[in-house]
Every structure is written in structure tokens, then in C-alpha cells.
Amino acid sequence: MEEVKVIELKKSVFEENDREADTLRTALKQKGVYLLNLMSAPGSGKTTTLIQTINRLKGRLRIAVMEADIDSDVDAVKIKEATGVESVQLHTGGMCHLDAGMTKQGLEGLAGDDRPDLVILENVGNLVCPAEFDTGAVKNAMILSVPEGHDKPLKYPLMFSVCDVVVINKTDVMPYFDFDLEKCKEYIHMRNPKATVIPICAKTGEGVDAFAEWLLNEVKEWQK
Amino acid sequence: MEEVKVIELKKSVFEENDREADTLRTALKQKGVYLLNLMSAPGSGKTTTLIQTINRLKGRLRIAVMEADIDSDVDAVKIKEATGVESVQLHTGGMCHLDAGMTKQGLEGLAGDDRPDLVILENVGNLVCPAEFDTGAVKNAMILSVPEGHDKPLKYPLMFSVCDVVVINKTDVMPYFDFDLEKCKEYIHMRNPKATVIPICAKTGEGVDAFAEWLLNEVKEWQK
């Protein structure tokens, strides 16, 4: 059997990003800013979940949102209108993920005077590429919606291994889909035994308190 | 309606890559090395197409191959065994695309003494992300296989707009699929009116001469 040379591109590219992400995280720690990287497939209900969550937390935390989901500014406008918090749109022009450098650019674009306690980064709607790149966030969250199916952790292993919390949205339609919540939890914990799983229905608000509480505790711990 | 700040991440990231790609292309021109960026979905028959094409050209050109398709070195080994040309494997570790910096790393890993006339870069098997990033190649090629369907240019507009040549592979199974070659050509030309379309069957070798001829002319023009 012939032998061929193997060049490891991965290391240098990811290592450089990992370094940048660590530097960003250290700077955020010093400023007491908690950054959450929120990922999901398109159409999982990220924006509705964010609005519900922010409205439960905005009296207790200064919050800002960076929306990288799409090319328009529809989501950023919707969040600003529905919650009043600062919201910026990051135009990725079709780019499939955010890395630490892009996240830093976004953070620098936030209004500087009123330092937020919590910045939520809505990553590009994609279950593959965003999982590869550390954005510099303190924690990674993802939203899995019921219609996507309970087997997603089997199909997107990396995404579920890097997420600290998985929000299962659209629980109201569970009777109409063949979605097994216990199986889903089992599959998630195969990827990441420590992952917190929070079932919610962003439309009705059910379960959102638990996610808001998780987030509040996270920010308080980070700012200690 | 509220107004939100919009931050254009795209420009800086892509502009930096575009600059690197132009620099790489200029260096390749000076050395007389023609780099072809070959893209496709997984399973389109890239490796078989490459073997057939290289075996038609290797007496006339010095050829090297950089394989970034998968994490193993199976394809690079297969090409080296079947053609005898230098073949290196680029491990992207699940990365969804190659950019100019990674391509440069790969080129630097090729044996230096026997400068190739033609380097074929087999990009990551993906119809979305690789289209976003200029690798520094002289031309972009893609392989569309018949079972994928003639409507692919409608679904992946960017991929087809950046490709100079589209090889339609597995024409032998056309009777068993609802694949309309004329419609496919029409859709491709909607995305890029100048694209060259070459139907082949890599398995039997049918049509491969036309692709090899296209490539030979390209290299000769580049080295003028």
C-alpha cells in the first residue's frame, strides 16, 4: 500500500481560533460580561425564545443581543421592538459560522457606555459549522424544536457535545410528532452527560422561566 | 419601526481571504503552476473522475493532487496507487471549507523539487460553504452526479455561479433517474452563462477526454 503525506490543517486553524476565543473570554470575565452562544437549525424558534427569556430577565440584568442568523435585520428589529434591549445585526453574507474574531467585532459594535451583564449571540442557523468554532462565549446553548425530531443528537454529534444547555422548543406540538422526550434526553446525554435539558414552549411561555433562571444563575456565577 | 445597528462582518472576513487568494494566484502564475479547485457534494465520484482524468494527462503534464475531502487518507492513497502522481491528504478535521490560507499550507506541503504544472485541489464535499471562499485557484470546477438531480443549480446558486466548468458525472444511470440534461444546462447557465458543461461517465471513461482536453488547454493558457 502506498503512503501519502498527511497535512493537518485543522490544528493551526482551530488552534488560532481557540487562542482568540480564550483571549476574548478572559477580557469578558474581567469586564463581568457573560456571553452566551445560541445555536440551532433554521426555524427552531430562536427569536421567540429570546424575546420570552429577555422579558423575564431585563429588570434584573442589562442585556444585549447580537443577531447573526440572516442577512436582513428582521430578527434584530423584532427583538428590539419586543424587549427594548440593545440589539445589533451581524451580517455574515452567507457565511456558515461565526468565529472568535467575528464575535469580537460584534461586541465592539455594541454601545460602549452601558456595559451589559449578558450578551446573547444568535449564531448562524446551521447545526454543523458553528459547532466547530469557539466564539469566545462562556457557554454554548442550542434550541432543538420538536418537529426536527428526537434523533438529532445522533445526527449532529459535535453540536450536542459542545452545548452546555439544550432547550427543547415547541413542546405544544409534541402530540402531533413522533417525538420521544426521554429518548431525546438520553441521546443528548450520550453526547454530553453534563448537558442541562430544558423543555419549553416559547409561544405560550411554558418552561421559559426555567431557562431564564438557568441563565440568571450563570451570569451571577460569572460575575462573582 | 425601530432601527438597529448593522455590522458587516462579511466584508472584512471575505476581503481578507480574497486578498490572500489573489496573492497566492499571483505567486502560482509566476511559477507556472495551475491550481484547479474541484468541488462537489459527497459521493459524486470525484476520486474516480480524477483518476480517469489524470491518467489521460500525466504524460503531458506534471500533476499533483491535494485531497481535502475526508478525515482519512483513503482517497489520496487511491489516487497515488492508480495514477502514480504525488498526492497529499489535507486533514480539515470536519472543517466545512478550505480558504486561501489553508490551500497555501497544502501547496507548501507538496514536494518542492519537481514543480507541478497542474495541482488539483479536491475541496471538502459540500455544496454551500466551499463556494464562499476563494482558495486562490485559477478556476473552479464542480462535479454534479446524475442521481443528485438536474435542479441542483436552483438550490445551490452560489456554487454554480462561481464554477467555470461543471462536469456532469454518472451519465450511464440517466435512464433510471428523472434527470433532464438540457434543463440542467439551462439552470447552470442561469447561474453562470459562461460555464462549460461536460457530461461524463467516470466509470466507463466516456466523456473524460473532453474534460482532460479542457484542463490541458487551461494549463497551457496559464503558462503562456
Segment B61-86, tens digit of pLDDT: 999 999 986 556 778 889 999 999 99
| CB contact (8 A) between residue A93 and residue B8 | yes
CATH number at residue B217: 3.40.50.300
Of the given ranges (A7-11, A158-162, A181-185, B218-222), which has the lowest mean pLDDT?
A7-11
Report yes or no: A14 at the B interface, CB cutoff 8 Å.
yes
Cβ pair B9:A73 closer than 8 A: no
Note whether residue A112 is domain-resident.
yes
Q: Which of A194-198, B10-14, B47-51, B161-165 has the lowest mean pLDDT?
A: B10-14
**A42 to chain B, closest Cα gap in Å:** 15
ipTM: 0.77
pLDDT digits (tens, 9 = 90+) for A33-83: 999 999 998 788 998 999 999 999 999 999 999 998 655 677 888 999 999
- Mean pLDDT, chain B, integer: 91
Q: How far is Cα B161 from Cα B190, in angstroms, rounded to an integer?
A: 9
Rounded Cα–Cα distance for residues A100 and A108 (Å): 12
Sheet order of strands, B139-145 included: A5-8, B86-91, B63-67, B118-122, B34-40, B139-145, B165-169, B196-199
Structure confidence at residue A169 as a pLDDT band (50, 70, 90): very high
Average confidence score pLDDT of chain A:
91
First and final C-alpha spacing in chain A:
58
Question: For the segment B181-196, what is each residue's pLDDT rounded down to a tens digit?
Answer: 999 999 999 999 999 9
Residues near A80 by Cβ (< 8 Å), separated by ≥ 6?
A86, A87, B2, B4
- Is A113 within 8 Å of chain B by CB? no
pLDDT of residue B205: 97
Residue A3 covered by a domain: no
Structurally, chain A folds into a number of domains equal to 1
Average pLDDT, stretch B167-190? 94
Which residues, 6+ apart, have CB-to-CB distance to A13 below 8 Å?
B95, B101, B102
Question: How distant is the Cα of B3 from the closest Cα of chain A, in angstroms?
Answer: 7
- Round to whole Å and give the CA distance between A166 and B164: 43
DSSP lists the bridge partners of residue B187 as none
Residue A1: inside a domain: no
Interface touch B89/A14, C-beta < 8 Å: no
Q: What is the pLDDT at residue B3?
A: 77
Round to whole Å and give the CA distance between B127 and B133: 12
Q: Tell me the three state secondary structure of residue A156.
A: coil
Burial tier of A219 (Cβ tally within 10 Å: 0-12, 13-18, 19+): buried
Nearest CA in chain B to A157: B94
Query: Which chain A residue's Cα is nearest to B12?
Result: A102
Round to whole Å and give the CA distance between B121 and B28.
14
Q: Compute the distance between CA of residue B71 and CA of residue A182 in angstroms, rounded to an integer.
A: 33
Asked if residue A2 belongs to a domain, the reply is no
Give the mean pLDDT of A96-109.
Answer: 90
Domain membership of residue B3 (yes or no) is: no
Residues β-bridged to residue B139: B36
Provide the pLDDT for residue A129: 84
Q: What is the mean pLDDT of residues B111-132?
A: 86
Residue A177: is its pLDDT beyond 60? yes
Mean pLDDT confidence for A150-159: 90
Q: How many CB atoms lie within 10 A of CB A30?
A: 8
Range of the domain at B148: 14-223
Chain A residues whose beta carbon lies within 8 Å of the beta carbon of residue B16: none
Is the predicted pLDDT of residue B34 greater than 60, yes or no?
yes
Q: Hey, is the C-beta of A50 within 8 angstroms of any chain B C-beta?
A: no
A2, A76, A88 member nearest B77 (Cβ): A2
Contact B66, B119 (CB under 8 A): yes
Identify the pLDDT of residue B95.
Answer: 76
Looking at residue B20, its pLDDT comes to 95
Please, are residues B87 and B67 in contact by the beta-carbon 8 Å criterion? Answer: yes
Among residues of chain A, what percentage have pLDDT more than 70? 95
Partners of residue A121 in chain B, C-beta under 8 Å: none
Q: In the prediction, which pLDDT does A124 show?
A: 87
Which residues of chain B are within 8 Å of residue A92 when distances are taken between CB atoms?
Answer: 9-10
Residues 152-191, chain B, touching A (beta carbon < 8 A): 158
Q: Is residue B4 part of a domain?
A: no
Residue A140 placed within a domain? yes
Which of A93, A36, A99 has its CA nearest to residue A70? Answer: A93
Between A90 and A187, the more confident residue is A187
| pTM (two decimals) | 0.76
Residue B5 included in any domain: no
